[in-house]
Structure 1
Amino acid sequence: MKAGTTTDVESHIEKLMRCEKLKEPQVKDLCNRAKEIITKDPNLLILSTPITICGDIHGQLPDLVELFSVGGAIPWTTYLFLGDYVDRGYNSIETFLLLLALKVRYPTRVHLIRGNHESREITQVYGFYDEVLRKYGSITVWKYCIETFNVLSLGAVIDGRVFCVHGGLSPTVEVFDDIKVIERNQDVPHSGAMTDLLWSDPDDKGERLSHCEQNGWGMSPRGAGFIYGPDVVDRFRMQNGVEFIARAHQLVLEGYKWHFRNTVVTVWSAPNYCYRCGNVASILEMEPNNEFFTIFEAAPQSTRVAFLQKKVPDYFL
């Protein structure tokens, strides 16, 4: 079959939905085609409703298929994925390639932004590198994926009223124009605006412990990015004219969680995370002037593929 055709990509989608491995030349072609499309996207995607927002996937391919079953098939549903497609799950390579194939086939219906795990350094520690080496016998496919990670957009704005990002805010990002000028075609640095967008978290520790919210910026226990309080969020919302921030990056046992009087929401889309956490997952379905969450559980065991890996490492950030 000739590479680079619509039929070719549809064949890839069918195979990947069944968790069948693509050949190395097919991966190279798919990544090149995806990069060509994604590179043309701005750092900050401008999107409109109706659209469905999805949080971390982490290589849980059967649960991604379940997500499409719950949220609606592409192209009849438009999706925005907030990053962390790989690591920790059994099928990171198939998961990421499926999303790329869907992006190539339906570029206006699938939107992908970068998470902190779409990184050369992180994937060498948390499973993706080892998975590709085991399945392909070399790291060439991993390198193709790394090159694709490096062109992913850093955020999105929906209907001008919702800012979407993987992690959170940055002390060096006050307005959207600050995001638009970031040089994104690189591996994730150890610090700076790009890193903060991918790594930062809302600081609700004070709210949990003392029933009061902690203001300002703080050092992140993750070792990258920052923790930020409600005053930071309110200032960012006012300066950019958005109602709330939708982000992923943190496991939420109930599938989603509102922070700071419903000005930040965490969306988590990997049910039974690491195959043992027992959590449900969610997607945020947005319509004009309305949004609602749909909760879903892990795919039935009967639909799961017989995995090569027998034990999941204790990978938690």
Structure 2
Amino acid sequence: MGQANSKKLSRTPSRSVEEVEEEFQHPRNSVPSINNFSPFAAPTDDDQDPIDFHDASPIGAQPFLEPILSRTGDNEGRRGSLASSLGGFSQFQSEALETGVSTGGINIDDCISRLLEAGSTAKTPKALDIEAWEIDSICALSREIFLSQPTLIEISAPVKIVGDVHGQYTDLLRLFEMCGYPPNANYLFLGDYVDRGRQSLETILLLLCYKIKYPENFFLLRGNHECANVTRVYGFFDECKRRASVKTWKTFVSVFNCLPVAAVVANKIFCVHGGLSPSLHDMDDIRQIERPSDVPDYGLLNDLLWSDPSDTTAEWEDNERGVSYCFGKQIISEFLQKYEFDLVCRAHMVVEDGYEFFNGRTLVTVFSAPNYCGEFDNYGAVMSVNEELLCSFELLKPQDLSAPQRRKRNSPPLTNEI
């Protein structure tokens, strides 16, 4: 692939939990913004698709109980039985998860029920209906699972791929209503679970509970907001302090530092939160990223979470966010050819229709938080990939927008818009 510009980029430095706590105790006058929105762009309408994109009725939800974590490559020997996939979990603990019996004193099914109940009310509950000790247990169990599975996850289809959620909990539940609650569908989330929205705690807790209950069918990648310094600025720290404690925030940060960072679906679709990196020379580079780890100021992990596609360059250029790079069409084409992939699927940018193609449909951005921050009238989207790699998009309509108010969309119409 092309070489990155040697000019040193202006970057916002990462900070540890301890440094963030120090700032909380001795706050600065101002905090620089590191998260700019990219403007909406018109969706492309290319004719040639390396993967079959289908704009008719979305795939129906079917129970996919067979584990989809691949046996190939770095995953060899990791799949096995449910018990072996959980590393240090005992057979009793694994059976307990399947039956809903309490595991280590916590009943995951009961936690899921309470979290779902919290989404049934119109108002955001002031108090969190999950005890502090339960949060600690959920985080400890999920950390163990994340570290028992690879940094680069290889999974098979069918799977539903979800972009940014950003604490919009009621929209997350609407998404599950549309696509099927686990285990009625396999899921791969691309990161950015917290910040911005009002219920980041319920959002991340429900996702972690599903990861614990269905570890080989429910996957969570790391986004750029899953780190200490970003959550300190954009809402999750404040929500934890207000509704739980600073200690709870630290506990979640320790989970974020263990999340996998990329996935490959059916050997053909490369999935990541942000994008590509000039430091990526081999897939083993991703596999060898050490965890737990904070997000560094620069390098491979930083780029995978922060980079963006750009049509103003063929190769690499500085990113307007002030972090990482932008990569052009030539970089995408060379990447796909080198690794024999057909598609890059990423999130990280709000797009008007919930999904947006780039570079002849060789890259797609998926964004799953409708009416983002209450300021954009964007749709949320989920990309469904079936066994034949037929891809379709299921859309969540902004709740406070009726159909007549919505302007005519430029992209092909879909039949299951909610």
Taking structure 2 as the reference length, the TM-score comes to: 0.68
Separation in 2, partners of 1:253, 1:154: 25
From 176, 182, 192, the equivalent of 2:289 is 182
Secondary structure, in 3 states, of the residue corresponding to 1:294? strand
Q: CA deviation at 1:6?
A: 9.8
1:124 paired to 2:232: yes
1:290 paired to 2:390: yes
Quick check: 161-170 or 177-186, which moved more? 177-186
Q: CA deviation at 1:109?
A: 1.9
Corresponding letter in the other structure for 2:170: P
Separation in 1, partners of 2:173, 2:142: 20
Separation in 2, partners of 1:185, 1:275: 34
For structure 2, the residue ranges without an aligned partner over 5 or more in a row are: 1-99, 119-127, 402-418
Separation in 2, partners of 1:146, 1:237: 33
- The residue aligned with 2:258 is 151
Separation in 2, partners of 1:2, 1:76: 21
Corresponding letter in the other structure for 2:324: G
Change (3 A) 1:51 1:275: same
Secondary structure, in 3 states, of the residue corresponding to 1:86? coil
1:261 paired to 2:261: no
Corresponding letter in the other structure for 1:140: K
Secondary structure, in 3 states, of the residue corresponding to 2:234? coil
Secondary structure, in 3 states, of the residue corresponding to 1:271? coil
Q: CA deviation at 1:245?
A: 0.2
Q: How does 1:78-227 map to 2 (within 5 A)?
A: 78-136=186-244, 138-204=245-311, 206=312, 214-227=313-326
Q: CA deviation at 1:18?
A: 2.3
Separation in 2, partners of 1:299, 1:42: 37
Separation in 1, partners of 2:323, 2:148: 28
1:71 paired to 2:170: no
Conserved 8 A contact 1:172-1:193: yes
User: Any idea what the Cα deviations from partners look like across 1:28-72, whole Å, max 9, x if unmatched?
Assistant: 001001111111111100001000000000000000000001111
**Identical positions, percent:** 39
User: Any idea what the Cα deviations from partners look like across 1:184-238, whole Å, max 9, x if unmatched?
Assistant: 311111111000000000012x3xxxxxxx2010011111111000111111111
Quick check: 96-105 or 287-296, which moved more? 287-296
Separation in 2, partners of 1:154, 1:231: 23
Secondary structure, in 3 states, of the residue corresponding to 2:297? coil
For structure 1, the residue ranges without an aligned partner over 5 or more in a row are: 207-213, 302-317
Structure richer in strand, relative to its length: 1
Separation in 2, partners of 1:153, 1:70: 26
Matched residues, number? 292
- The residue aligned with 1:54 is 162
Corresponding letter in the other structure for 2:356: K
Secondary structure, in 3 states, of the residue corresponding to 2:212? helix
Structure possessing the higher radius of gyration over alpha carbons: 2
Conserved 8 A contact 2:152-2:263: yes
Conserved 8 A contact 1:62-1:299: no
Corresponding letter in the other structure for 2:271: C
Separation in 2, partners of 1:175, 1:230: 19
Secondary structure, in 3 states, of the residue corresponding to 1:184? coil
Taking structure 1 as the reference length, the TM-score comes to: 0.89
Q: CA deviation at 1:163?
A: 0.1
Separation in 2, partners of 1:300, 1:21: 27
User: Any idea what the Cα deviations from partners look like across 1:5-41, whole Å, max 9, x if unmatched?
Assistant: 6981011111112225311100000100111111111
Change (3 A) 1:181 1:286: same
1:232 paired to 2:331: yes
Q: CA deviation at 1:175?
A: 2.3
- The residue aligned with 1:313 is none
Change (3 A) 1:106 1:82: same
Quick check: 19-28 or 98-107, which moved more? 19-28
Separation in 2, partners of 1:274, 1:300: 12
Conserved 8 A contact 1:174-1:236: no
Conserved 8 A contact 2:106-2:137: no
Separation in 1, partners of 2:291, 2:270: 18
Q: CA deviation at 1:174?
A: 2.5
TM-align CA RMSD? 1.7
Corresponding letter in the other structure for 1:131: E
- The residue aligned with 1:307 is none
